[in-house]
Amino acid sequence: AVIVSDFHEAPGLCGRSLTVVMVSHNIDTLRKLCNRMIWLHEGELKMYGEVNEVLDEYLKFMEEDDKDN
């Protein structure tokens, strides 16, 4: 696994056979650079899967959370 501390490093890692750990709330960057992802909420695994499916569920969750607050 590789931990990326600078997003400028990430594009050069794509397409290689390795696991890259990225932590971000930048939806556009995640959609561009990732193909699978883990969504953690309050330290618990909320969802794992294809990046667009996980992000779509995350955005729905955040929208509902905003309505509740």
- Whether 29 has a pLDDT exceeding 50, the answer reads yes
**Cβ contact 58:49 at 8 Å:** no
10 or 51, greater pLDDT: 51
65 or 45, greater pLDDT: 45
- Looking at residues 44-67, what average pLDDT do you find? 93
- Full-prediction pTM beyond 0.85? no
| Strands, E assignment, 1-69 | 2-3, 20-21, 36-41, 44-50
At 55, list the tokens.
């992000």
Chain mean pLDDT for the chain: 81
Distances (CA, A) of 9 to 17, 29, 36, 42, 62: 16, 13, 18, 28, 29
